[in-house]
Amino acid sequence: MLAEDCRALDPALDPFCPEAIERLVARHGSPLLLIDAVRVRAQYRRLAAALPGVDLHFAMKPLPHRSVVEILRDEGACFDLASDGEIELARRAGVAAARCIHTHPIKRESDIRSALDFGIDTFVADNPDEIRKFGKFRRRAGLLIRVAFRSPDAVCDLSRKFGCDPQDVAPLCELAAALNITVHGLSFHVGSQAMSPTMHVEAIEACARLLSSAAVCCERPGVLDIGGGFPVDYRHTAMPIEDFCTPIRAALSTLPAGVRVIAEPGRYLVAPAAIGVATVMGRAKRAGRWWYYLDDGVYGSYSGRLFDHANYELDALRGGAERHPSVLAGPTCDSIDVIEENLSLPRLAIGELVVGRSMGAYTWACASEFNFFPKASVLALDRGRIIAGQDGA
Ligand SMILES: Cc1ncc(COP(=O)(O)O)c(C=O)c1O
């Protein structure tokens, strides 16, 4: 099927334009998650240009799809892996282990062993128990100590769950030294979809002080991993990435000479590179508003409405200028499965298409098949060619 479908669209046609979307749904059904390789590359190149000298490790979790891994592999990206499944995906996509780090702060011994077997040698820890787990692997693994910097203005504040207090870095490094475990440096993640670079800047400056302190016994000049958090546009426009990274670059210049800087962008690389396409299964007028029931919802690709607090730009693919108060709901029988209540949409007929923009991050990756409604099929396109289908093949 894929072989004969390979050239699905005119290479000059934007795969996110109405004509392309209609053609793809006619052939591959609905719901779909369409990934555009050209946009993935553009995001990677734009962030790489905004952070020169910083090694970008794609955090796979927002969109763990083989096509994306292969596109970024070919761009020269490195990878941030956090589970056996992600390691397996990297392996299948032919990613060299030397380009990967393991960043989950809490791991079972079996997780450490499978990462080591793949060839990863850099891990993250943020507490004494986790450091002790590496005693028996000290010849094969080194650590980054994850530091917590609370980030009230990030949409998802990750330092609530992981990371040690800055004052605990020195004792944790001492414990590692006592166990002959190498500490390569520090890492942090200020939280996803950061609204301003302020927390990145403060965290980098705090880490610069720690990496300069004689009390912190780690490799010199060492490594600083500045995590992810780089924001994208949803219904609210985010700061352009060039502006976001300017103060970050200035803060990085305060690091001791020679520190290797890495970052773990996830959302920024994939969110704008995919759209969700769903079909109206049925409709009803309730209390003066049109309710449209789609074949995808918050238990599917729109899970990010709940888990990720994301406000996707949603609209009908076609339709007249006249708009009416409308609600978009998912297909399941659960009342929480409502995507958006206060929309203004053209009058939609059963079978018409609805598109969600910037749906590459934390959408399909977090979707379930509750009520046996299948997850969206994934189609990755590169200048008119389908490069991967649902199973990533
Ligand atoms: C350890 C780690 N690195 C990177 C990321 C990616 O963050 P973002 O999508 O904000 O770039 C996450 C997200 O949860 C994470 O937990």
Q: Is the model's pLDDT at 109 over the cut of 90?
A: yes
Return the residue whose CA atom lies nearest to atom 6 of ligand 1: 266
Give 61: exposed, middle or buried? Use CB within 10 Å, 0-12, 13-18, 19+: buried
Distance 257 CA to ligand 1 centre (A): 26
Whether a cis peptide bond, with omega within 30° of 0, leads into 171 is no
Q: Residue 255 half-sphere exposure, CB side, CA atoms within 13 Å?
A: 28
Which residues, 6+ apart, have CB-to-CB distance to 362 below 8 Å? 61, 62, 267, 303, 304, 307, 308, 310
Which residues, 6+ apart, have CB-to-CB distance to 330 below 8 Å? 293, 294, 296, 297, 298, 299, 300, 302, 337, 338, 339, 373
Give 257: exposed, middle or buried? Use CB within 10 Å, 0-12, 13-18, 19+: exposed
In this structure, the number of other CB atoms found within 10 A of the CB of residue 352 comes to 17
Distance 229 CA to ligand 1 centre (A): 7
Nearest atom within ligand 1 for CA of residue 82:
1
Which tens digits make up the pLDDT trace of 347-368? Answer: 999 999 999 999 999 999 999 9
Q: Is the model's pLDDT at 152 over the cut of 90?
A: no
Q: For Cα atoms 348, 305, 392, give the angle at the middle one, nearest 5 degrees.
A: 85
Which tens digits make up the pLDDT trace of 260-279? Answer: 999 999 999 999 999 999 99
Ligand 1 mutation target, pool 81, 102, 162, 189, most atoms within 8 A of CB = 189
Whole-model pTM?
Answer: 0.95
Distance 256 CA to ligand 1 centre (A): 25
Which tens digits make up the pLDDT trace of 211-268? Answer: 999 999 999 999 999 999 999 999 999 999 999 999 999 999 999 999 999 999 999 9
Domains of the chain: 2-35+273-388 (2.40.37.10), 37-270 (3.20.20.10)
Which residues, 6+ apart, have CB-to-CB distance to 1 below 8 Å? 389
- What's the pLDDT score for residue 367? 96
Longest dimension (CA), the chain: 71
Distance of CA 328 to the CA centre of its chain: 25
Ligand 1 neighbours, Cβ below 6 Å, are 59, 61-62, 80, 103, 158, 189, 192, 227-230, 264-268
Both tokens of 95, joined, read 């990613």
**Residues 276 and 356: beta-carbon distance below 8 Å:** yes
pLDDT-derived band of residue 319, with 50, 70 and 90 as boundaries? Answer: confident
Which DSSP string corresponds to 46-107? Answer: HHHHHSTT-EEEEE-TT---HHHHHHHHHHT-EEEE-SHHHHHHHHHTT--GGGEEE--SS-
Ligand 1 mutation target, pool 149, 158, 269, most atoms within 8 A of CB = 158
Which residues, 6+ apart, have CB-to-CB distance to 52 below 8 Å? 249
Q: Is the model's pLDDT at 393 over the cut of 50?
A: yes
